[in-house]
Amino acid sequence: MEKMDVSGYGAMLGLFAEMVLDEAIRKMREQTLYREIDSALERGDEQSFLALTEQWKQLHS
């Protein structure tokens, strides 16, 4: 059997964990923006709506 490079494996796990965390943060921000955009629409707050939709575009670019 071949020996597994433990340091490489640990680095790979660290990278995977970072990717999972980044995705969770992105999804949380996306949900927050959805709620804030809906709220701005309900209030008729055009300035907030435009600012929030710009943030939405940046999140997805």
Contacts of 37 (CB under 8 A, 6+ apart): 49, 52, 53, 56
**Rounded Cα–Cα distance for residues 55 and 57 (Å):** 5
Residue 36 resides in a domain: yes
Distance, in Å, from the CA atom of 25 to the CA atom of 35, rounded to the nearest integer, reads: 16
Average pLDDT over residues 7-16: 88
**Mean pLDDT of the region 25-42:** 97
Give me the number of domains the chain comprises.
1
Residue 45 included in any domain: yes
What is the span of the domain harbouring residue 33? 22-61
Whether residue 1 has pLDDT greater than 60 = no
Residue scoring higher pLDDT (4 or 11): 11
Model pLDDT, residue 4:
58
In a domain, 11, yes or no: no
Report yes or no on whether pTM surpasses 0.75.
no
